[in-house]
Amino acid sequence: MQQVEGSVLEVDVAVVGAGFSGLYLLKRLREAGLSVRVFDAAGDVGGTWFWNRYPGARCDVPSTDYTYSFDPELEQAWSWSEKYATQPEILEYLRFVANRYDLRRDITLGTRVEAAVWDEASERWRLRTSGGQDVVCRYYVMASGCLSVPKSPDIPGSDRFVGDSYWTSSWPHEGVDVTGKRVAVIGTGSSGIQTIPHLAAQAAQLTVFQRTPNFSLPARNGPLPAERVAKLASDRPAYREAARWSLGGVHTEPNQVFGVYASEEVRRQRFEDAWAAGELFAILDVFGDQAVNPASNEIVSEMVREKIRGIVHDPATAELLCPHDHPLGSKRCCLDTGYYDTFNQPHVRLVDLRSTPITTVTEIGIDTTAESMGFDVIVYATGFDAMTGALVSVDITGRNGVTLKEKWADGPSTYLGLTAVGFPNFFALTGPGSPSVLSNMAVSIEQHVDWVTDCLIRLRADGFQTIEPTPLAEDGWDQHVADGAAITLHQTANSWYMGANVAGKKRALYPYVAGVDQYRWACDQVAAQDYLGFRRSGPTGEHTNDGVVCQLQPDVKRVLDVVAGMQLPALETMSAPDARAFMDAMNAARPPGPEVAEIVDGVLPGPAGDLPYRLYRPAGTGPHPVVAYFHGGGWVLGSKESDEPFCRDLCARSGAVVVSVDYRHAPQDRFPAAADDAFAAVSWIADNAILLGGIPGELVVAGWSAGGNVATVACHRARDEGHPQIRGQLLLTPATDSDPNRPSYTDNGDGYVLTAPLMRWFWEHYCDEAQRQDPRAAPLHGDLAGLPPAIVITAQFDPLRDEGIAYVEALQAAGVPVQHVSARGHTHTSLTMVDVVISGAQVREEIAQRLRTLFPSTATVAAVQAAGTEPAPV
Ligand SMILES: Cc1cc2nc3c(=O)[nH]c(=O)nc-3n(C[C@H](O)[C@H](O)[C@H](O)COP(=O)(O)OP(=O)(O)OC[C@H]3O[C@@H](n4cnc5c(N)ncnc54)[C@H](O)[C@@H]3O)c2cc1C
């Protein structure tokens, strides 16, 4: 029930904003039986599409997808007329929605919410509005938009201009006629790029002031694409569901084509297809790795530049329009209709603000460092204070008098991009830390509205009145958002995604980049796990369910999801030969790893016959330090080339020759065959360092998993026999004993590729129960004193994590210098997934840096590097 007492309106929920978000939220909350009042400063519903009326304004996600999906009947009742609907059509649609569901009666237009204060005593929010009406509400939702606060142009003199000034973000409703006028446009982001061709069609003279060129591709607008319409018609629910569980809110097929490894022909074909499609999601997905791999990205970027040079006749202008300072997609990509071609018209001119910045706007025009220009009209297409602008422009005061602006002074901190510690019963739709502007926002908005509504319904059902995230949950989410940001190339650009367009704004990637699907999963998990990470209270009491929802690195989680979706047979259900064949087939499909100077195959003598090896040589004139490397595979699987991507990576990063040895495998050759082979191989490699291009005496023994086991066992034996001299041991998630009772076996024994049953299968193949306490099988139980210095890498979600940590502690106790690298959010296998799990790269870089400190020839440089560029904690 809405109640008005004096000038105070009392409702269950107050909502700010009547755009896509606010309208749907109102519908759902009302249906849930909650009283709601929506406020918008605008004169009508529509949000973005009410304000941005500049000529050429359109959506740039296809209309078939940039639309509500909550009501199949609504979808039947409305049809879009074009592939990319115009602003008037989208506004008409939102008005249609408001009328269809009778939403207007709960919306107050032309009214700004100026302040909101949490009243601790009544556990309610008190809002102050520009209309003079105060509002008291239990829940307060900002549906205030990510791109709703225009950025002030920061250009001196802009108020002096006596001609007409317009902002694309608040274009006059009656339209603007610039026929025959001298027009300046400042800004070449999405709005500028959309409107410039239209203004050029009317103006006598059009001058475009560009600071940063952006990537744009032809929209190829026209009728709705037949293929999409047919897909929708054949199974609308499936189409919508696929979008909800996609990376960006529009379904795309999984793309395994890596730009750096694809042939020239494949690269060209994929690019031309994307260019012809006229869709942002196509150009952003030419290669599966272009968002994370600078080299792949550069291939696509250069192809776009070629297109620009092919369209724009004047080479100097073309070059100015070519973006060189950011990877494609790291800033908002644009869709245009005739943008580049506009610069071929004789009355259109491009001014490069990088070489000749604006010094001032004058009464009659614009002065740059090079000249004075006269104009009748100046159009500012200078963008928005994105993501946080609308949220911090309201004085929102939470617990203890702290405002949201103060809390976010050093960058936004949220739980799920929706809620914040210190701000009970407060929700920010499409807020920072959620996919929002990196996605098809229609999909993300519906997801947020549904989640918030379901949350309020559940609170009521459980007898709670307040909900607030815990500090642990919020910190965990911030870390998760930052982990995602660290993977992609977004951080390399000065974009509004990064807050870089607003002076003084904290530089960070504001949206959640790990995907709409991953994000939806996280939100669903929180709800399914009894609102994990929230503290709820009410007349029935208080309940805190503390925890962190996402701890895996986002790309590790994505790989695990893909693997789970493949429903692969468990290795331990196979025979050893079948398991080997299976692994070989899996390995054949992975990216090969970075280039190294040379790869040589050879054999070395082992105790029971020759052992094949593969040598990876780094660039540069040798000799180089040497790593004797033993592959993973539980003493049963693997070969000299089964860890090839990791070996190449280790070689390229560390500058060491890596010799990967094919030791004997169980069950044909059981314990201690592998250990004996490893020792023989290490001895031979040490004795033949010169032959291998290595520096005699500069030898580290390394291995992953079971390979780590035999590597360290070889070190034990070398110490005992006094030969060979080993500088150090590098043990990646090693097996150090066979105890399955450690917590990591329970926590991580299922669902992280290496499972507890598989590890048991490996042990059973390798050695008898009675042999498993033998230090040659379980080095943790050996005498560790006098072993070479060790680098031990453990992974958070590895069943072997705790035995790795136990080995670190035991080595330390024995006086062995140990460097422990604890890989947060990683699994037993993820660190070796070169070019697939990008978050592993920083761990491998740290490993390589530490490895170099073990070699006398590289130690000094490595130590200086380590001191200067201490890698981020992992
Ligand atoms: C030109 C342009 C094109 C776009 N094209 C696309 C596209 O193709 N695909 C896509 O996914 N996204 C696009 N977007 C993003 C777009 O903003 C969202 O898709 C969507 O419209 C946002 O809806 P919303 O309701 O969350 O916010 P908005 O539409 O921004 O509505 C927020 C409303 O809140 C009101 N408001 C804010 N603060 C207050 C306050 N303190 N008091 C009162 N009222 C307040 C504002 O007046 C505004 O009307 C585009 C954005 C722009 C600017």
Check pLDDT > 60 for residue 446. Answer: yes
Among 707, 603, 711, 614, smallest CA distance to 657 is for 614
Q: What is the mean pLDDT of residues 525-529?
A: 98
| Whole-number pLDDT of residue 213 | 97
| Whole-number pLDDT of residue 254 | 86
Cβ pair 291, 331 in contact under 8 A: no
| Whole-number pLDDT of residue 203 | 98
Check pLDDT > 90 for residue 132. Answer: no
| Whole-number pLDDT of residue 526 | 98
Write the single-letter amino acid at 194. Q
In angstroms, the CA 331 to CA 458 distance is 39
Q: Which of 91, 140, 147, 221 to mutate to test the pocket of ligand 1 (most atoms within 8 A of CB)?
A: 147
Location of structure tokens 């460092």:
369
Q: How far is the CA of 147 from the centre of ligand 1 (A)?
A: 5
Cβ pair 327, 490 in contact under 8 A: no
Check pLDDT > 80 for residue 5. Answer: no
Mark residue 835 as left, alpha or beta (left: phi above 0; alpha: psi -120 to 50; beta: remaining).
left
Closest ligand 1 atom to Cα of 114: 41
Q: Which of 38, 44, 48, 246 to mutate to test the pocket of ligand 1 (most atoms within 8 A of CB)?
A: 48
**54 pocket-lining for ligand 1 (C-beta < 6 Å):** no
**41 pocket-lining for ligand 1 (C-beta < 6 Å):** yes
Using one digit for the tens of pLDDT, what is the confidence trace for 10-35? 999 999 999 999 999 999 999 999 99
Among 206, 204, 205, smallest CA distance to 196 is for 206
Check pLDDT > 60 for residue 868. Answer: no
Check pLDDT > 80 for residue 867. Answer: no
**16 pocket-lining for ligand 1 (C-beta < 6 Å):** yes
What is each CA distance from 90 to 46, 76, 193, 704, in whole angstroms?
Answer: 8, 16, 19, 56
Q: How far is the CA of 53 from the centre of ligand 1 (A)?
A: 13
In angstroms, the CA 207 to CA 577 distance is 70
Using one digit for the tens of pLDDT, what is the confidence trace for 571-616? 999 999 999 999 999 999 899 999 999 999 999 999 999 999 999 9
Q: What are phi and psi of 412, to 5 degrees?
A: -70, 145
Check pLDDT > 60 for residue 1. Answer: no
Among protein residues, the one whose CA lies closest to atom 23 of ligand 1: 20
Q: How far is the CA of 430 from the centre of ligand 1 (A)?
A: 10
Confidence of residue 798 (pLDDT cuts 50, 70, 90): very high
Q: Which helix (H) or strand (E) holds 4?
A: strand 3-5
Q: How far is the CA of 329 from the centre of ligand 1 (A)?
A: 21
What is each CA distance from 447 to 421, 453, 540, in whole angstroms?
Answer: 21, 10, 29
Name the β-bridge partners of 165: 378
Name the β-bridge partners of 616: 599, 658
Name the β-bridge partners of 184: 207, 378
| Whole-number pLDDT of residue 540 | 84
Q: How far is the CA of 429 from the centre of ligand 1 (A)?
A: 11
Among protein residues, the one whose CA lies closest to atom 6 of ligand 1: 59
Among protein residues, the one whose CA lies closest to atom 42 of ligand 1: 112
Location of structure tokens 């809405």:
2
Among protein residues, the one whose CA lies closest to atom 27 of ligand 1: 145
Location of structure tokens 């996605």:
439
Check pLDDT > 70 for residue 6. Answer: no
Q: How far is the CA of 440 from the centre of ligand 1 (A)?
A: 13
Using one digit for the tens of pLDDT, what is the confidence trace for 155-213? 999 999 999 999 999 999 999 999 999 999 999 999 999 999 999 999 999 999 999 99
Q: What are phi and psi of 114, to 5 degrees?
A: -100, -35
**59 pocket-lining for ligand 1 (C-beta < 6 Å):** yes
In angstroms, the CA 485 to CA 509 distance is 6
Q: To the nearest whole number, what is the mean pLDDT of the chain?
A: 96
Instruction: Give the tokens for residue 159.
Output: 């108020």
**147 pocket-lining for ligand 1 (C-beta < 6 Å):** yes
Q: How far is the CA of 481 from the centre of ligand 1 (A)?
A: 23
Confidence of residue 152 (pLDDT cuts 50, 70, 90): confident
Among protein residues, the one whose CA lies closest to atom 5 of ligand 1: 59
**15 pocket-lining for ligand 1 (C-beta < 6 Å):** no
| Whole-number pLDDT of residue 204 | 98
In angstroms, the CA 298 to CA 311 distance is 20
**191 pocket-lining for ligand 1 (C-beta < 6 Å):** yes
Say what angle helices 840-852 and 644-654 make with each other, to 10 degrees: 50
Q: How far is the CA of 146 from the centre of ligand 1 (A)?
A: 6
User: Could you write out the three-class secondary structure of 618-664?
Assistant: CCCCCCEEEEEEECCCCCCCCCCCCCHHHHHHHHHHHCCEEEEECCC
**50 pocket-lining for ligand 1 (C-beta < 6 Å):** yes
**724 pocket-lining for ligand 1 (C-beta < 6 Å):** no
Among protein residues, the one whose CA lies closest to atom 7 of ligand 1: 59
Torsion sign over Cα 487, 490, 493, 497: negative
| Whole-number pLDDT of residue 153 | 76
**414 pocket-lining for ligand 1 (C-beta < 6 Å):** no
Closest ligand 1 atom to Cα of 190: 1
Q: How far is the CA of 47 from the centre of ligand 1 (A)?
A: 5
In angstroms, the CA 555 to CA 557 distance is 5
In angstroms, the CA 718 to CA 347 distance is 80
Instruction: Give the tokens for residue 723.
Output: 């030969």
Check pLDDT > 90 for residue 872. Answer: no
Using one digit for the tens of pLDDT, what is the confidence trace for 64-73? 999 999 999 9
Q: How far is the CA of 475 from the centre of ligand 1 (A)?
A: 28
**21 pocket-lining for ligand 1 (C-beta < 6 Å):** yes
Q: How far is the CA of 200 from the centre of ligand 1 (A)?
A: 27
User: Could you write out the three-class secondary structure of 590-624?
Assistant: CCCCCCCCEEEEEEEEECCEEEEEEEEECCCCCCE
Closest ligand 1 atom to Cα of 148: 30
Burial (Cβ within 10 Å: 0-12, 13-18, ≥19) of residue 81? exposed
Q: Which helix (H) or strand (E) holds 209?
A: strand 205-210
Full-model pTM = 0.95
Q: Which of 148, 194, 332 to mutate to test the pocket of ligand 1 (most atoms within 8 A of CB)?
A: 148
**57 pocket-lining for ligand 1 (C-beta < 6 Å):** yes
Using one digit for the tens of pLDDT, what is the confidence trace for 808-849? 999 999 999 999 999 999 999 999 999 999 999 999 999 999
Among 292, 252, 288, smallest CA distance to 267 is for 288
Cβ pair 681, 628 in contact under 8 A: yes
**63 pocket-lining for ligand 1 (C-beta < 6 Å):** no
**29 pocket-lining for ligand 1 (C-beta < 6 Å):** no
Cβ pair 702, 627 in contact under 8 A: yes
| Whole-number pLDDT of residue 806 | 98
Q: How far is the CA of 82 from the centre of ligand 1 (A)?
A: 21
Among protein residues, the one whose CA lies closest to atom 48 of ligand 1: 47
Among protein residues, the one whose CA lies closest to atom 8 of ligand 1: 59
Using one digit for the tens of pLDDT, what is the confidence trace for 733-766? 999 999 999 999 999 999 999 999 999 999 999 9
Confidence of residue 304 (pLDDT cuts 50, 70, 90): very high
Instruction: Give the tokens for residue 401.
Output: 């008098």
What is each CA distance from 362 to 192, 209, 354, 762, in whole angstroms?
Answer: 22, 15, 20, 78
Torsion sign over Cα 59, 60, 64, 66: negative
In angstroms, the CA 486 to CA 416 distance is 18
Using one digit for the tens of pLDDT, what is the confidence trace for 250-299? 999 889 899 999 999 999 999 999 999 999 999 999 999 999 999 999 99
Burial (Cβ within 10 Å: 0-12, 13-18, ≥19) of residue 730? buried
In angstroms, the CA 331 to CA 492 distance is 10
Among protein residues, the one whose CA lies closest to atom 49 of ligand 1: 47
Among protein residues, the one whose CA lies closest to atom 52 of ligand 1: 48
User: Is beta strand 728-732 parallel, antiparallel or unpaired with respect to 818-827?
Assistant: unpaired
**430 pocket-lining for ligand 1 (C-beta < 6 Å):** yes
Check pLDDT > 80 for residue 864. Answer: no
In angstroms, the CA 435 to CA 515 distance is 7
In angstroms, the CA 11 to CA 4 distance is 9
Location of structure tokens 């078939």:
64
| Whole-number pLDDT of residue 107 | 98
| Whole-number pLDDT of residue 869 | 45
Check pLDDT > 70 for residue 870. Answer: no
Bigger pLDDT: 2 vs 19: 19
Beta strands in 62-204 (DSSP E): 107-108, 113-119, 124-129, 134-142, 164-167, 182-186
Check pLDDT > 80 for residue 637. Answer: yes
Q: How far is the CA of 46 from the centre of ligand 1 (A)?
A: 8
Q: How far is the CA of 19 from the centre of ligand 1 (A)?
A: 6
Check pLDDT > 70 for residue 459. Answer: yes
Q: What is the mean pLDDT of residues 39-50?
A: 98
